[in-house]
Structure 1
Amino acid sequence: MSQPDATNPFGDFTKMLEQFKLPGFDVPAIMEARRKDVEALVQANQTAFQGMQSLAQKQTEMLRTTLGELQSLTGQLSAGGAAPPAKAAELIQQSLHKSLADMQQLAQAAYQTQAESYAVIAKRVEENVQELKSLLQQQQKK
Structure 2
Amino acid sequence: MANQTNPFSEMDVTKMMGAFRMPNVDMESMMTTHRRNVEAMTKANQVAIDGMQTLVQRQMEIARQNMDDAMIAARDMMATNGTDGVSKQADTAKAQFERMLGQMKEMSDILSKSQSEAADVVNARITSMMDEMKTTAASFNDAGKEAGKKAN
Q: Which runs of 5 or more structure 2 residues have no equivalent in the other structure?
A: 1-6, 144-152
Counterpart residue number, 2:70:
70
Aligned mates of 2:41, 2:31 — CA distance in 1: 15
Matching of residue 58 in structure 1 with residue 55 in structure 2: no
Cα offsets for 1:99-125 (capped at 9, x unmatched): 100100111111111111111111111
2:14–2:28 Cα contact (<8 Å) kept:
yes
Aligned mates of 2:67, 2:57 — CA distance in 1: 15
Aligned mates of 2:92, 2:20 — CA distance in 1: 75
Counterpart residue number, 1:16:
16
Could you tell which deviates more after superposition, 14-23 or 119-128?
Answer: 14-23
Structure 1 residue 81 displacement after superposition: 4.8
SS in 1 for 2:12: helix
**What TM-score comes out, normalization by structure 1 length?**
0.88
Structure 1 residue 24 displacement after superposition: 1.4
Aligned mates of 1:76, 1:33 — CA distance in 2: 64
Structure number with larger C-alpha Rg: 2
Cα offsets for 1:60-93 (capped at 9, x unmatched): 1111111111111111222345552111111111
SS in 2 for 1:22: coil
Matching of residue 131 in structure 1 with residue 132 in structure 2: yes
Counterpart residue number, 1:8:
none
Q: Which runs of 5 or more structure 1 residues have no equivalent in the other structure?
A: 5-10
Counterpart residue number, 2:102:
101
**What TM-score comes out, normalization by structure 2 length?**
0.83
Match for 1:43: what amino acid?
K
Aligned mates of 1:65, 1:94 — CA distance in 2: 14
Pairwise CA RMSD: 1.8
